[in-house]
């Protein structure tokens, strides 16, 4: 594991600490680090209640979307929900199908096959749905770039409502309504909703109109799953949605989610955002990566215990396959990247890279080398790729500058995908590398670790951990607080894991002893000396029915290396 550059965040001003005297100084510092400078912000962040929920009618085109759906409900039209094949799209599709069914709609789910159809709206599929008698299609987590497809759908007599959260292109599809908080004309107070979050706001607007908004409480678990899985920032409204969703998942999980929790060996009642991102989301995504995402959709919507069990076992198998495939592809792509030399932008391309896991491989390489990374599957006529980036490089802007070479692209600043004619591949690689070289010139491309506060191990005793948990859920945009302790004595250190890839430590400082685990630092065993400076956050270990706090070590350095 590579060591990081340590960035100790500045201490909160004395005036701020005085104004936040209701909180312990450490908690006030954590709130300050998260940019919460106004007293009103502090209260809404901690409570994360409905006051963070925006009025759905502030979203662009919401009135038009609601009017068209009501018309469809009243006249008994067939509605199709066209979702994406990742966990965000799957949960959003399930949410709209279940929600519209409760309003008496005849509704059909459609999720394309990642490997045979690819991302987004496809004209052939729209024609097929039209032949089946569908007259209204609502997209989830896709559609914002489908200009020509929506135009053709209009000519077929199909109406399309787009709900999406991806960055809009300059040319917006001529849909009946385009509900997207990132639209330039949006008045919505929070722009970082997931695809499932935008779908939820559409349902909220519909249910408000008929006085059934309370029923939405039973569907908010799907919003939490999709929001965390899509790595959306857990700030603003997302805090409320994820917090409420986690409550529901822990109290009364839906059948399929309960089966997943059981199969994965998680403890019901103590699931957090990390349980979604590390355990549940990879399983939901595994279906779309290696087979068809409808398997995960069925798991989220089934009311048959037998079907839930069968689908969960199938997903476990798919996830194990996915892990093996990712490890093999990562090794190959890593070798390719190293052979080229570590450039400002990393590109790995091959005819055999599996389409379903290219994003995962790109993400791992971007994390390891702290460089924007593109993994491409080369085809005879067309090639496709996945991009993962770092905060200093906006990959969707870079793709936009290469749009003349591309057939299709879409995504966010840190994660995107594209297809292009294979004959354009060499020029595309060259252009992107030039863009990255210019933009990242002079940037220190080492991973950076933000440290919230310097503390001693004794400072973490008592009710410090429960106090920190007031800031949960932790995740993207609201990381678990990281602390630095200097001069910690190492009582014991040994490798752990099947191939010794992790370190287990016993640490002492001024009579206080803590257990710690340093994941993926097994190869750094020789660097462990006493005393150590350690950067870590706090984690609860659950073992044999007992809960114990331990240190989750993020990085370390010899105390003598000053």
Note the pLDDT of residue 426. 95
Q: Please compute the mean of the pLDDT values over residues 94-101 and round it to a whole number.
A: 97
What torsion do the CA atoms of 471, 476, 477, 483 make, to the nearest 10 degrees?
Answer: 60
Distance of alpha carbon 426 from alpha carbon 378, whole angstroms: 11
Mean pLDDT, the chain, integer:
93
Q: Please compute the mean of the pLDDT values over residues 164-186 and round it to a whole number.
A: 95
Tens of pLDDT, residues 281-295: 999 999 998 999 999
Distance of alpha carbon 138 from alpha carbon 96, whole angstroms: 9
Note the pLDDT of residue 562. 47
Q: Please compute the mean of the pLDDT values over residues 410-436 and round it to a whole number.
A: 93
CB 183 within 8 A of CB 168: yes
Tens of pLDDT, residues 306-328: 999 999 999 999 999 999 999 99
Distance of alpha carbon 142 from alpha carbon 165, whole angstroms: 8
Ramachandran area for residue 252 (φ above 0: left; ψ -120 to 50: alpha; else beta): beta
Note the pLDDT of residue 43. 86
pLDDT at 261 exceeding the cut of 50: yes
Q: pLDDT-derived band of residue 412, with 50, 70 and 90 as boundaries?
A: confident
**Token pair 């191939």: residue:** 499
CA angle in degrees (0–180, nearest 5) for 295-279-260? 50
- Which alpha helices (H) appear in 291-357, and where do they start and end? 294-301, 305-340
Tens of pLDDT, residues 49-88: 999 999 999 999 999 999 999 999 999 999 999 999 999 9
Helix, strand and coil percent figures for the chain, each rounded to 5: 45, 20, 35
Q: Which residues contact 236 (CB under 8 A, 6 or more apart)?
A: 52, 189, 190, 192
Q: Which domains does the chain have, with CATH numbers?
A: 5-47+448-558 (2.40.50.460), 56-313 (3.90.1640.30), 341-439 (3.10.310.30)
Note the pLDDT of residue 241. 98
% of the chain with per-residue pLDDT over 90: 81
Taking Cα atoms as reference points, which of 314, 330, 316, 215 lies closest to residue 263? 316
Note the pLDDT of residue 114. 83
Edge-to-edge strand ranges of the sheet holding 408-411: 346-350, 373-377, 382-388, 415-421, 408-411
Q: pLDDT-derived band of residue 545, with 50, 70 and 90 as boundaries?
A: low
Cis before 531? omega within 30: yes
Stretch among 85-94, 129-138, 172-181, 351-360 having the lowest mean pLDDT: 351-360
Compute the residue count for the chain. Answer: 562
Distance of alpha carbon 377 from alpha carbon 72, whole angstroms: 41
Strands 532-543 and 483-496: antiparallel
Ramachandran area for residue 269 (φ above 0: left; ψ -120 to 50: alpha; else beta): left
DSSP class of 161: E
Distance of alpha carbon 106 from alpha carbon 83, whole angstroms: 17
Strands 408-411 and 382-388: unpaired
% of the chain with per-residue pLDDT over 70: 99
Tens of pLDDT, residues 342-388: 899 999 999 999 988 999 999 999 998 999 999 999 999 999 999 99
Note the pLDDT of residue 547. 77
């Amino acid at each position: 594991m590579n060591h990081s550059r340590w960035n100790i965040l500045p201490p909160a001003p004395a005036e701020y600490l005085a104004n936040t005297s209701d909180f312990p100084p450490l908690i006030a510092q954590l709130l300050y680090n998260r940019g919460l400078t106004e007293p009103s912000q502090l209260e809404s962040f901690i409570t994360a209640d409905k006051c963070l929920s925006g009025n759905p009618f502030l979203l662009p085109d919401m009135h038009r979307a609601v009017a068209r759906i009501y018309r469809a409900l009243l006249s008994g039209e067939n509605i199709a929900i066209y979702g994406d094949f990742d966990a965000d799209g799957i949960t959003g599709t399930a949410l709209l199908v279940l929600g519209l069914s409760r309003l008496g709609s005849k509704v059909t789910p459609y999720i394309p096959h990642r490997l045979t159809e690819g991302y987004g709206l496809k004209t052939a599929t729209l024609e097929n749905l039209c032949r089946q008698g569908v007259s209204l299609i609502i997209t989830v987590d896709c559609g914002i770039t489908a200009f020509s497809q929506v135009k053709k759908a209009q000519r077929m007599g199909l109406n399309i409502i787009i709900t999406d959260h991806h960055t809009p292109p300059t040319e917006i599809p001529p849909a009946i309504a385009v509900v997207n908080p990132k639209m330039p004309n949006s008045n919505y107070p929070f722009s970082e909703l997931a695809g499932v979050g935008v779908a939820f706001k559409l349902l909220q607007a519909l249910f408000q109109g008929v006085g059934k908004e309370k029923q939405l409480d039973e569907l908010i678990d799907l919003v939490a799953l999709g929001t965390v899985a899509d790595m959306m920032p857990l700030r603003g409204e997302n805090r409320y949605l994820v917090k409420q969703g986690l409550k529901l998942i822990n109290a009364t999980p839906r059948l399929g989610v309960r089966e997943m929790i059981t199969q994965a060996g998680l403890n019901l009642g103590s699931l957090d955002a990390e349980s979604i991102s590390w355990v549940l989301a990879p399983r939901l995504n595994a279906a779309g990566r290696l087979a068809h995402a409808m398997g995960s959709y069925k798991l989220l919507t089934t009311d048959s215990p037998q079907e839930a069990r069968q689908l969960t076992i199938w997903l476990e198998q798919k996830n194990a396959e996915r892990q093996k495939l990712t490890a093999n592809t990562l090794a190959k792509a890593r070798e390719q990247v190293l052979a080229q030399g570590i450039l400002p932008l990393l590109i790995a391309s091959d005819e055999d890279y599996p389409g379903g896991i290219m994003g995962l491989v790109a993400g791992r390489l971007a994390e390891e080398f702290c460089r924007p990374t593109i993994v491409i599957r080369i085809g005879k006529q067309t090639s496709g790729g996945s991009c993962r980036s770092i905060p200093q490089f906006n990959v969707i802007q870079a793709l936009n500058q290469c749009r003349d070479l591309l057939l299709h692209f879409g995504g966010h600043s840190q994660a995107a995908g594209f297809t292009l004619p294979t004959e354009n591949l060499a020029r595309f690689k060259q252009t992107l590398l030039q863009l990255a070289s210019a933009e990242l010139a002079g940037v220190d491309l080492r991973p950076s670790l933000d440290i919230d506060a310097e503390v001693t191990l004794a400072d973490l005793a008592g009710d410090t951990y429960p106090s920190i948990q007031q800031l949960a859920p932790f995740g993207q945009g609201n990381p678990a607080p990281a602390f630095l302790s200097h001069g910690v004595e190492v009582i014991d250190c040994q490798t752990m894991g099947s191939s010794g890839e992790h370190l287990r430590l016993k640490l002492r400082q001024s009579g206080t002893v803590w257990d710690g685990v340093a994941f993926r630092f097994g190869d750094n065993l020789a660097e462990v000396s006493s005393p150590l400076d350690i950067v870590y956050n706090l984690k609860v270990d659950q073992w044999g029915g007992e809960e114990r706090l331990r240190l989750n070590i993020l990085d370390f350095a010899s105390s003598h290396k000053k």
